[in-house]
């Protein structure tokens, strides 16, 4: 077989390998199980296409997107390589041509979607055609907690074992945890040859900006690059449509794309974007994985991405041809609330939520970096770098201020309040704001009360945001986002380390923000309540509002009931819903398993009779063996005590009719005292 270097030039027209490619190609060609993590635009496809031409037999490529497979097959055929794809988008003629090429022994690369692996005849077909290598693109799709998870990727490991052939897995971004999951699921835990290419994309200019009329900011950024292909990522489907319309009104060629569109409409946009120069696609993250357009000149985020990995993957779609490309990411407090809510409202285990919050914190650290952004970004991936001169920080360094004293005050407030509160309440304590919550918890008596009066509430909000970004504090998912100090903060608190923040962020101009459903202090709890509601609704197969309306959950988050009696006072919590769901939602609010309560008492929850029942029960408990504790045991049932609490007899005769003579003789006097106090 010809040497890879010869085919690199003769088939693909490249004079030499890009850095890191040669080693990967050699391992795959030699038939070694391989895992390669390479940056988007780093030449992953070549690392399995070239070995396919150097080996006997057919290489099967498993790829998640039909559009990407068709593009690669077309490009390979243009290069003179026999390649084909079996996808749901094929015509009968196309499928027949692929089978004929396989029967003739001409096909070198066969592309398949992971979903096809579940078809009954697929494994038989692959054994018959002489598969010698499996290549898996976008291998991070095997991670069950990744936003690109594809369940059918879990079948690939089984297929590898059945065929008895080597497997090469490729992905653009995979943290250590995801890499371990790939090894477990695709390689049965046996460590493959692993290549971790450098993450730096030096041709991409990095920039962040605090939101200030974000639509205007995006329009201005796009208009300055009119005629260049670009992507604008948005957090919601509705926003993609509105922003695309605004761009068109401004005279720019723009279309929207999101997962709620019909499949044919999505394919139309994908094809249009691939074909047309200067088109802007305004999209959710549903758009982009596998987009193989090399001349995307810019990527903008109208909203903060979900994580630093998502950010890296999404900006990596720009400048895949190596020419200069630009990025802009807008962010603000409302983005942080949204991303926190998406994590908290998910159904993932607590440890997964904690990890997702940490990834978001890392992105916030990048957004509010106090040094070269590329250094911060590459540092997250474990790489050291010099200042790049190609980010907004290097272009125009902001003023950096010593925030050590303010951070120490904030940490002190966090500790003195038991690490049980969010930034809103802590700010009230630091600024000496006497709210009902501050008074109710006697936090106005703390030494830290009012020590931060010289700093405005807006500035404190920025300080807490940057503390989260620097991972000095983390929201505790088990306590609804209450800030907890991390180990990284202890040297700061002890005076052993200093902290520097950006002045342009700390002293940002005030701006109008979208009013949240609840105060920032209560937002994490509201998210947790919504997650519980969704889980119950899905289990019952009913709309979420059938369990509780948003208004009810908002009131729960704001009032934070601690007992069923208090829960019964929440708007929308009727007796049946209290009985069905009250204890479960109390557990979310308090973080503790609700105590079991007798059904007779539960029916009185939220009513005056409930409090009366508790007092009667207490008196009853003192007298079950008589006043001196030596008499024969005698008791009233919970239902009987509940009846007394509801009917409230005012004399001995009335009590005797309810209790009977024997019980009245023992309990009447004490019960009448309780009733008289009501």
Whether 550 and 627 map to the same domain: the answer is no
Q: Give, as one character, the DSSP assignment of residue 6.
A: H
Burial class (CB in 10 A: 0-12, 13-18, 19+), 207: middle
Exposed/middle/buried for residue 350 (C-beta within 10 Å: 0-12, 13-18, 19+): exposed
| Residues 111 and 63: beta-carbon distance below 8 Å | yes
pTM, to two decimals? 0.62
Of 158, 173, 196, which residue constitutes the final position of a domain? 196
The helix (H) or strand (E) run that includes residue 647 is helix 638-647
What span, in angstroms and rounded, lies between the C-alpha atoms of 394 and 626? Answer: 83
CA separation for the pair 424, 524 (Å, rounded): 12
Q: End-to-end distance of the chain based on CA atoms, in angstroms?
A: 97
391: left (phi over 0), alpha (psi -120 to 50) or beta: beta
Is 257 contained in some domain? yes
Q: Which residues pair with 501 in a beta bridge?
A: 401
**517 is a domain residue:** no
In terms of domains, do 444 and 387 share one?
A: no
Task: Indicate whether 511 belongs to any domain.
Answer: no
List strand residue ranges (DSSP E) for 373-457, in order.
400-402
Shared domain check, 418 and 371: no
The domain that contains 11 carries what CATH number?
3.40.50.300
557: CATH: 1.10.150.80
The verdict on 588 and 612 lying in the same domain is no
Backbone angles phi, psi at 214, to 5 degrees: -60, -35
In a domain, 545, yes or no: yes
Residues 153 and 302 in one domain: no
How far apart, in whole angstroms, are the C-alpha atoms of residue 189 and residue 207?
A: 39
C-alpha torsion sign, points 566, 570, 576, 577: negative
Task: Specify the DSSP element, H or E, that contains 613.
Answer: helix 608-623
pLDDT at 507: 43
C-alpha of 278 from chain center: 32
Conformational region of residue 82, where left means phi above 0, alpha means psi within -120 to 50, and beta covers everything else: beta
Contacts of 276 (CB under 8 A, 6+ apart): 229, 253
* Same domain as 433, residue 576: no
Q: Collapsing DSSP states into helix, strand and coil, what is residue 502? A: strand
Instruction: Look at the chain and report how many structural domains it folds into.
Output: 5
Q: How far is CA 521 from CA 295, 359, 437, 479, 483, in A?
A: 44, 21, 11, 12, 10
Residue 339 belongs to a domain: yes
Separation between Cα atoms, residue 22 and residue 195, nearest integer Å? 11
Task: Decide if 651 contacts 672 (C-beta within 8 A).
Answer: yes
Last residue of a domain, one of 376, 395, 414: 395
CA distance 109 to 101: 11
Local structure of residue 370 (DSSP, 8 states):
S
CA distances from 386 to 326, 362, 368, 377, 378 (A): 20, 19, 18, 12, 10
Query: Each residue of 437-448: b (16+ CB within 10 Å) or e?
Result: bbeebebbebeb
Cα separation, 167 vs 132, in Å, equals 9
Q: How far apart are CA 650 and CA 141, in angstroms?
A: 71
- What are 396's two structure tokens? 């125009």
**637: exposed, middle or buried (Cβ count in 10 Å: 0-12, 13-18, 19+):** exposed
Please check whether residues 104 and 40 belong to one and the same domain: yes
Question: Roughly what angle, to the nearest 10 degrees, separates helices 308-315 and 373-380?
Answer: 110
Q: Please, what sign has the CA dihedral across residues 184, 188, 191, 196?
A: negative
What is the Cα–Cα distance from 474 to 364, expressed in whole angstroms?
A: 12
Number of other CB atoms surrounding residue 50 within 10 Å: 26
Q: Which residue has the tokens 């009954």?
A: 120
CA distances from 229 to 47, 317, 414, 578, 644 (A): 27, 11, 47, 55, 77
Beta bridge partners of 129: none
Phi/psi region, residue 32 (left: phi>0; alpha: psi -120 to 50; beta: rest), is: beta
Question: Coil, helix or strand for 408?
Answer: helix
Across 334-469, the runs of DSSP E, i.e. the strands, are 400-402
In this structure, the answer to whether residues 280 and 353 fall within a common structural domain is yes
Whether residue 601 lies inside any domain: the answer is no
Q: What CATH number does residue 437 fall under?
A: 1.10.10.10
User: Which residues lie below 8 Å from residue 404, measured CB to CB, with a gap of 6+?
Assistant: 492, 497, 498, 499
Q: For residues 341 and 465, state if they share a domain.
A: no
Give the H/E segment covering residue 331: strand 325-331
Q: Quote the domain boundaries for residue 589.
A: 523-527+535-596
- Of the residues 341, 369, 395, the one at which a domain ends: 395
Q: Which residues contact 673 (CB under 8 A, 6 or more apart)?
A: 619
Separation of alpha carbons 667 and 623, rounded Å? 7
Same domain, yes or no: 208 and 163: no
As beta bridge partners, residue 126 has none
> Are β-strands 400-402 and 500-502 bridged in parallel, bridged antiparallel, or unpaired?
antiparallel
pLDDT digits (tens, 9 = 90+) for 463-502: 887 887 777 887 776 777 789 898 989 999 999 999 998 8
| Dihedrals phi, psi of 157, to nearest 5 degrees | -60, -40
Residue 603 domain-assigned (yes or no) = no
| Residues 548 and 667 both lie in one domain | no
Q: Considering just the CA atoms, what is the radius of gyration of the chain in Å?
A: 32
CA–CA distance from 202 to each of 125, 198, 319, 374, 375 (Å)? 44, 11, 10, 9, 11
Q: Which residues of the chain have pLDDT under 50?
A: 506-515
> Quick check: is 416 in a domain?
yes
- Are both 583 and 436 inside the same structural domain? no
The answer to whether 378 and 384 are in contact (CB under 8 A) is yes
User: What span, in angstroms and rounded, lies between the C-alpha atoms of 435 and 361?
Assistant: 29
- CA-based angle 150:155:159, to the nearest 5? 140
């Amino acid at each position: 077989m010809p040497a890879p270097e010869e085919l690199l030039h003769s088939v693909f027209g490249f004079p030499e390998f890009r850095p890191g490619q040669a080693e990967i190609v050699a391992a795959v060609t030699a038939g070694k199980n391989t895992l390669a993590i390479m940056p988007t635009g780093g030449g992953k496809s070549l690392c399995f296409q070239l070995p396919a031409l150097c080996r006997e037999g057919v290489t099967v490529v498993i790829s998640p997107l039909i559009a990407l497979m068709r593009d690669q097959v077309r490009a390979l055929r243009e290069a003179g390589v026999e390649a084909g794809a079996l996808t749901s988008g094929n015509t009968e003629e196309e499928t027949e041509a692929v089978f004929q090429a396989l029967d003739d022994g001409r096909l070198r690369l066969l592309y398949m979607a992971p979903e096809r692996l579940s078809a009954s005849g697929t494994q038989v077909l692959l054994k018959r055609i002489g598969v010698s290598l499996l290549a898996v693109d976008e291998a991070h799709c095997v991670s069950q907690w990744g936003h690109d998870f594809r369940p059918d990727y879990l079948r690939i490991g089984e297929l590898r074992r059945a065929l008895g052939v080597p497997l090469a897995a490729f992905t653009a971004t995979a943290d250590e945890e995801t890499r371990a999951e790939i090894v477990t699921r695709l390689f049965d835990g046996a460590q493959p040859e692993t290549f971790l290419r450098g993450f730096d994309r030096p041709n991409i200019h990095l920039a962040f900006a605090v939101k200030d009329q974000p639509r205007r900011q995006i329009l201005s950024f796009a208009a300055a690059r009119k005629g260049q292909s670009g992507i604008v990522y948005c957090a919601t489907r509705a926003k993609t449509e509105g922003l695309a319309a605004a761009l068109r009104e401004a005279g720019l060629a723009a279309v929207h794309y999101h997962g709620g569109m019909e499949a044919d409409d999505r394919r139309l946009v994908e094809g249009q974007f691939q074909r047309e120069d200067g088109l802007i696609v305004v999209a959710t993250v549903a758009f982009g994985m596998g987009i193989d357009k090399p001349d995307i000149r810019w990527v903008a985020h109208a909203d903060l991405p979900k994580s630093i990995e998502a950010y890296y993957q999404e900006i990596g779609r720009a400048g895949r041809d190596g020419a200069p490309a630009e990025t802009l990411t807008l962010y603000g407090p409302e983005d942080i609330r949204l991303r926190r809510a998406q994590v908290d409202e998910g159904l993932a285990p607590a440890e997964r939520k904690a990890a997702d919050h940490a990834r978001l914190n890392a992105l916030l650290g990048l957004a509010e970096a106090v040094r070269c952004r590329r250094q911060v970004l590459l540092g997250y991936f474990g790489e050291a770098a010099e200042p790049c001169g190609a980010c907004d920080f290097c272009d125009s360094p902001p003023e950096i201020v010593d925030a050590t004293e303010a951070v120490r005050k904030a940490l002190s407030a966090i500790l003195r309040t038991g690490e049980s509160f969010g930034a809103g309440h802590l700010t009230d304590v630091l600024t000496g704001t006497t709210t009902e919550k501050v008074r109710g918890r006697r936090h106005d008596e703390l030494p830290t009360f009012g020590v931060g009066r010289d700093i405005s509430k807006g500035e404190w909000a920025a300080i807490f945001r940057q503390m989260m970004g620097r991972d000095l504090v983390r929201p505790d998912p088990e306590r609804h986002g209450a800030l907890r100090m991390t180990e990284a903060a202890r040297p700061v608190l002890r005076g052993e380390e200093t902290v520097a923040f950006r002045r342009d962020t700390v002293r940002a101009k005030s701006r109008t923000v979208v009013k949240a459903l609840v105060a920032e202090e209560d937002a994490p709890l509201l998210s947790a309540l919504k997650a519980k509601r969704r889980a119950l609704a899905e289990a019952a197969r009913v709309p979420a509002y059938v369990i509780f309306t948003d208004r009810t959950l908002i009131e729960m988050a704001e009032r934070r009931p601690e007992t069923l009696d208090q829960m019964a006072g929440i708007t929308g919590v009727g007796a049946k819903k209290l009985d069905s769901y009250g204890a479960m939602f109390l557990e979310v609010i308090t973080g503790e398993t609700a105590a079991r309560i007798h059904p007779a008492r539960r029916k009185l929850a939220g009513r005056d009779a409930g409090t009366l029942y508790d007092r009667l029960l207490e008196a009853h408990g003192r007298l079950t063996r008589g006043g001196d504790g030596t008499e024969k045991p005698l008791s009233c049932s919970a239902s009987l005590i509940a009846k007394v609490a509801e009917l409230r007899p005012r004399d001995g005769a009335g009590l005797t009719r309810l209790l009977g003579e024997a019980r009245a003789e023992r309990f009447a006097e004490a019960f009448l005292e309780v009733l008289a106090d009501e």
